[in-house]
Amino acid sequence: MKYISTRGKAPALNFEDVLLTGLAPDGGLYVPEKLPTYSAEQIAAWSKLSYAELAFEIVKPFVDDCIPQEDLRAIVNDSYSDFRHGAIAPLVQIDQNEWVLELFQGPTLAFKDFALQMLGRLLDYVLERKNQKVVVMGATSGDTGSAAIQGCKRCKNLDIFILHPYQRVSEVQRRQMTTVAGDNIHNIALKGHFDHCQAMVKASFADQSFLPEGRQLVAVNSINWARIMAQIVYYFYAGLALGAPGRKVSFSVPTGNFGDIYAGYLAKQMGLPIDQLVIATNCNDILHRFVSNNRFEKQELQHTLSPSMDIVISSNFERMLFDG
């Protein structure tokens, strides 16, 4: 499988190269040249699989032949070995036709664990095989930072730098990010908000001349395709548990940077019978304003009780616009 940039001015890459690239050199985001699609019969055949088994089936075509299947299966199994619940992503019924998908069963209690535990292990595998060292750089509004550090802390072939807005993340998230011991783990607090951190990360990817020779930047934000890929899995897992493909399902998704709900959109494009995808937001509502009134414009950031959603510009929305 090949991956192309949303801006059309970067070379097509395979999965391994996309994993180690993050942002495309033309400033765009990488997307698959063609999505795998599945019939209702194929999806139904997955109904008895465990979460890790289903993840392997979903991830396999995106990785293609870059990683041998047995090695990929081991990576996927290991990625979910530290989750507290046997179901990995259990569903809890709250009303006659309403369920909550618990995505807080990972080691840092954040839904980002589902993708970043896998991303860390994929990086470890590829870098060890290539005998290569990289610098991981990411911006966080709270939960990405701690999940990225937890996923990457075992990797001996990388240094990780996480930028977060000073005094704009929860105290639990701050401690999760700043109390993991390791010579390769670095936290930087910036005065400002998430979009300032994100802008600095994007500028660094655009000009990497400050790095030592032989090093390159790797993204752990959802600009890295592997993040989106891993999140597609729990939409299929929840859908199957609720009767898909014989029954349509809908999802209401809290979203800031548009990565999580975009993964749901891709699941629908791949064949999962999703009826509706509802964007749940706070007052930093650029996505709601665009969908409701066709207005995609910056407004001043409002600090709220949900800091992980305090984002002015949703980066992954570019992938959606490209597909449209």
Give the catalytic positions in this structure. Answer: 112
Check: CB of residue 3 under 8 Å from CB of residue 31.
yes
> Alpha carbon of 26 to those of 8, 12, 18, 49, 316: distances in Å?
8, 12, 14, 40, 15
Check: CB of residue 226 under 8 Å from CB of residue 122.
yes
The owner of tokens 């930072």 is 145
**And the tokens for 86?**
């046997």
Check: CB of residue 103 under 8 Å from CB of residue 114.
yes
Residue 146 burial (10 A CB sphere; 0-12, 13-18, 19+)? buried
Alpha carbon 309 to chain centroid, angstroms: 14
d(CA 182, CA 180) in angstroms, rounded, equals 7
d(CA 103, CA 106) in angstroms, rounded, equals 7
Q: Are strands 91-95 and 98-101 parallel, antiparallel or unpaired?
A: antiparallel
